Chain A
């Protein structure tokens, strides 16, 4: 039946994009249709090209993003203000989105895509993204500099923060009555009170992440010894206690009390707790001593048919009022300066799960794709195999 890419989704550093070979006609077709003659192919050079960037907003805009990830009011306001019809399309994982852009060679027809940070270097290297024209995005000045220049795109040439989040855990205080504060506590509770009733995020890097974060090791390490130790920790100590791999426990695990301990992203945890019948029984803990910072970004794919509308839309979401609407909708920090005060004035709940102190942010590490990716995927497979026993 339908399968699906379903639960494995988001987040950092899961792998890299594609194939330069896919992008050049010769390379790709060499694989795909060996028999075709080069002459026949030369006649039909592919690739779409974008119209000129002159600030004239087009009448259509196609946004390719996670479903229901843009605030409807912002979409509506933009359509009304510019007479632009917005088409929203959904993907289930960064890899799918990139596969689509790579295969289409600039003809995918999307104007804005929303990749997660670590995927950007590969997309850039493969020519999938267009350089942004900052003259058309004056509201970029509203973005908190802290969330502007990220390791995957230091000068914001290709991408701008849409929202960012971090990883921690939530536990049921009626079952785990002691205080948990760190990833070490997390593991200890997993091995004791929460054994067989705990969930991990369904993402390779998130499985090994807590080991590195709790041991003061850079989670982007490629050191064999450190990876071996992480594997041993994940397979031997953690895996036997895992009940499920669930990337979105907030959408079910927390409100339905499916688990007593969950590794979870902050925005998802917040909505889960807000929707719970007994919100007081759940406690959110930011991963410590270190944890992750992931970021979803706006970018414009090469060959976008409506680049002016794309720039105008990105500019519009960086407006503080729109940004607040986005934050309320998604539950994630948009990185726009002074939004914390605006959100508090608006009376939004549980804001300590959206905004973090500079000290906390300093403990958050961004992920990058490294040569260790294959190893991390192997560890993930071993953990899944061991947890299934």
Chain B
């Protein structure tokens, strides 16, 4: 079923493209290599190499604040990504398939979400969450993770919506129509045709959402409550006393775990990518 070009390619243009891609991916990893090396730094500051040591890994385990911050970030990242992906996917499909007069307004909302400087979100959200949680007595908004998820989900919903929409828009909805003509229920059509077609966009959107959540600092810093300091907030705050090598040790551990987890995700991605493509191809070919 694979009719595409193999990895080792035939023409000079393909060769150049391959080289560019490999160089780009390698380029992305350069700073990570530095950090992995510096995680074995015996010195006091992360950045200044003063000999080899495993101490940063020992110290890392002794600081509950680090464990807590990383835990909060990972939990928030997962929840925010799932939430943004669900809401964004539905919105993206609606925008691509059934745009009505509302679509323009919704797109403007998404655009404004993307364009608003984060500090404005932060300043706006903090008192609003307190109003909801304390004045209006909805205690769920006093929960640190809930607040962080809300803050992180805003831009992510916009991203997922944009990517899903652009994946589907312009591809005629003949597949869905064919499915409906064949007496599939709308729900079945949605599940068997539309969703698989959108799946690569959904998964990359989810990945981007998680990534952005993991790096969010300003909003996190404003909305967090006692016990919900995130990893980036910890790191930026730690500048005052000097960033220590254990920050690199934590990053290295996360990196290694990431490699393991992402190997799994890559597997899932590949499968769904294939099935989406093959369904589309099969149906399209007729």
Q: Which residues on A are within 8 Å of B, measured CB to CB? A: 1-7, 9-10, 22, 25, 28-29, 32-33, 36, 41, 44, 46, 62, 64-69, 72, 87-92, 96, 99-100, 103-105, 107-110, 247-248, 250-252, 255-256, 268, 271-272, 274-277, 329-331
Question: 10 closest A-B pairs (Cβ-Cβ)?
Answer: A67-B237, A90-B237, A275-B48, A255-B48, A4-B217, A109-B226, A67-B238, A2-B215, A88-B65, A68-B238
Whether B215 pairs with A1 at a CB distance below 8 angstroms is: yes
A96 with B239, Cβ < 8 A, contacts A5-B119, A275-B48 known = no
B201-220 Cβ-contact flags toward A at 8 Å (1 or 0)? 00000000000100111100
B105-119 Cβ-contact flags toward A at 8 Å (1 or 0)? 000000000000111
Q: Which of B127-154 contact A (CB under 8 A)?
A: 127-128, 130-131, 134-137, 142
Chain A to chain B contacts (Cβ below 8 Å), 28 pairs = A2-B215, A3-B118, A4-B221, A4-B236, A5-B217, A5-B218, A7-B239, A9-B240, A44-B136, A65-B237, A67-B236, A68-B241, A72-B62, A88-B229, A89-B224, A89-B229, A90-B234, A91-B233, A92-B233, A92-B237, A103-B130, A109-B226, A109-B227, A250-B45, A251-B46, A255-B48, A271-B45, A275-B47
Contacts of B244 in A (CB 8 A): 68
Whether A90 pairs with B233 at a CB distance below 8 angstroms is: yes
Q: Which residues on B are within 8 Å of A, measured CB to CB? A: 43-48, 50, 62-65, 68-69, 117-119, 123, 126-128, 130-131, 134-137, 142, 212, 215-218, 221-222, 224-229, 232-244
Whether B212 pairs with A1 at a CB distance below 8 angstroms is: yes
The listed residue (A44, A100, A250) touching B137 by CB distance below 8 A is: A44
The listed residue (B44, B130, B226) touching A274 by CB distance below 8 A is: B44
Whether A29 pairs with B135 at a CB distance below 8 angstroms is: yes
Whether A3 pairs with B217 at a CB distance below 8 angstroms is: yes
Q: What residue in chain A is nearest B137 (Cβ atoms)?
A: A44
Contacts of A100 in B (CB 8 A): 126, 222
The listed residue (A64, A104, A256) touching B47 by CB distance below 8 A is: A256
Whether A32 pairs with B127 at a CB distance below 8 angstroms is: yes
Given contacts A108-B226, A256-B48, 5 further A-B contacts (CB under 8 A): A4-B118, A44-B134, A69-B237, A268-B242, A276-B48
Q: What residue in chain B is nearest A253 (Cβ atoms)?
A: B47
Q: What residue in chain A is nearest B212 (Cβ atoms)?
A: A1
Whether A99 pairs with B44 at a CB distance below 8 angstroms is: no
Whether B135 pairs with A87 at a CB distance below 8 angstroms is: no
Contacts of B117 in A (CB 8 A): 3
Whether A92 pairs with B45 at a CB distance below 8 angstroms is: no
A104 with B130, Cβ < 8 A, contacts A4-B218, A29-B135, A89-B226 known = yes
A103 with B126, Cβ < 8 A, contacts A91-B221, A248-B242 known = yes
A271–B241 Cα distance when bound, in Å, is 9
Whether B47 pairs with A32 at a CB distance below 8 angstroms is: no
Whether A90 pairs with B126 at a CB distance below 8 angstroms is: no
A46–B131 Cα distance when bound, in Å, is 10
Which of B48, B69, B137, B237 has the most chain A CB within a 10 Å cutoff? B237
Whether B217 pairs with A2 at a CB distance below 8 angstroms is: yes
Contacts of B238 in A (CB 8 A): 66-69, 90
Q: What residue in chain A is nearest B152 (Cβ atoms)?
A: A2
Q: What residue in chain A is nearest B121 (Cβ atoms)?
A: A3
A29–B152 Cα distance when bound, in Å, is 25
Smallest CB separation, B40 vs chain A (Å): 16
A329–B242 Cα distance when bound, in Å, is 10
Whether B227 pairs with A89 at a CB distance below 8 angstroms is: yes
Contacts of B43 in A (CB 8 A): 275
Contacts of B232 in A (CB 8 A): 2, 4
Contacts of B62 in A (CB 8 A): 72
Q: What residue in chain B is nearest A41 (Cβ atoms)?
A: B135
Contacts of B134 in A (CB 8 A): 44, 46, 104-105, 107
Contacts of B225 in A (CB 8 A): 108-109
Which of A4, A29, A72 has the most chain B CB within a 10 Å cutoff? A4
Whether A44 pairs with B48 at a CB distance below 8 angstroms is: no
A91–B226 Cα distance when bound, in Å, is 11
Whether A87 pairs with B227 at a CB distance below 8 angstroms is: yes
Whether B229 pairs with A255 at a CB distance below 8 angstroms is: no
A33–B136 Cα distance when bound, in Å, is 11
A251 with B218, Cβ < 8 A, contacts A66-B241, A92-B236 known = no
Q: What residue in chain A is nearest B239 (Cβ atoms)?
A: A248
Whether A67 pairs with B44 at a CB distance below 8 angstroms is: no
Contacts of B47 in A (CB 8 A): 251-252, 255-256, 275
Smallest CB separation, B146 vs chain A (Å): 15
A193–B236 Cα distance when bound, in Å, is 32
Contacts of B136 in A (CB 8 A): 36, 44
Contacts of A275 in B (CB 8 A): 43-45, 47-48, 50
A69 with B226, Cβ < 8 A, contacts A32-B131, A92-B236, A251-B47 known = no
Smallest CB separation, B61 vs chain A (Å): 12
Whether A271 pairs with B135 at a CB distance below 8 angstroms is: no
A33 with B239, Cβ < 8 A, contacts A88-B65, A91-B221 known = no
